[in-house]
Amino acid sequence: MTELSRAGFDTWVNDAGVGLIATVDKTSTEDHQQIFQTNYFGVVHGSIAAVRYFRRKREPAALINFGSVVSDMPIPLSVAYSATKHAIKGFTDGLRNELMQEELPISVTLIKPSAIDTRFFDHAKTEMGGMGKAPGPHYAPEVVAAAIINAAQHQKRDFPVGATAVFTAAAEQVAPEFVDKQQSS
C-alpha cells in the first residue's frame, strides 16, 4: 500500500474538458456525444467516485467541479461545449443538495472561469476552418489555481473566476435579453 493510499485525500477536482468550434448545424451527433462523454460524464464519474470515498471517511472534504462562464452565457460556435457546462452546473447543484440532505461534511463548489490563457483552442476540434478565441479578457491560469485552493479551504457554492464571469452571472439574472444580444453581436 502506498503512502498516498494510506493517507487518503480530502479534496477532489474534476476538470475534464474538450472543445468544439462549430455551428450547431455542423456539429454531428457523434461530436455531441463525444463532448458530453468527456466534459459532462467525466465530471459525473469523478464526482461519484469522490463522494463514495468521502462518504466512507465521514470527514470534512471538498469536491470542486469545473463549469464555465458559458454555463450562464452560451457563446456562438460553442453551443455543444456550453451545453455540457450547463449540464455540469445542474449536476453539481443537484449533487450539492443531495449531500446537504445527508448532512455530510462535503462542500461542493462549481468553479466558473472566464476565458483563461491556455492552449485550449489549440486542441479544440473545429469545423470552422480555423481556431476560435474566447471573447473578453483572458486570465492567467494561476488565477484559476488560486480559486481551486480557495474553494478547497473555504466552503463556496459557486466561484466565478474573472470579471466576465462575475458580470455575466449578475447580468444573466437581471437582464438575460441584454446578455443574449451581447453574445450575438
The residues assigned a catalytic role are: 81
In 58-137, alpha helices (H): 79-101, 120-123
How far lies 151's CA from each of 132, 145, 154, 159, in Å?
30, 10, 5, 8
Say whether 54 sits in a helix, a strand or coil.
helix
Nearest one of 89, 8, 101, 102 to 47, comparing CA atoms? 89
Task: Please report, in angstroms and rounded to a whole number, the separation of the first and last CA atoms in the chain.
Answer: 57
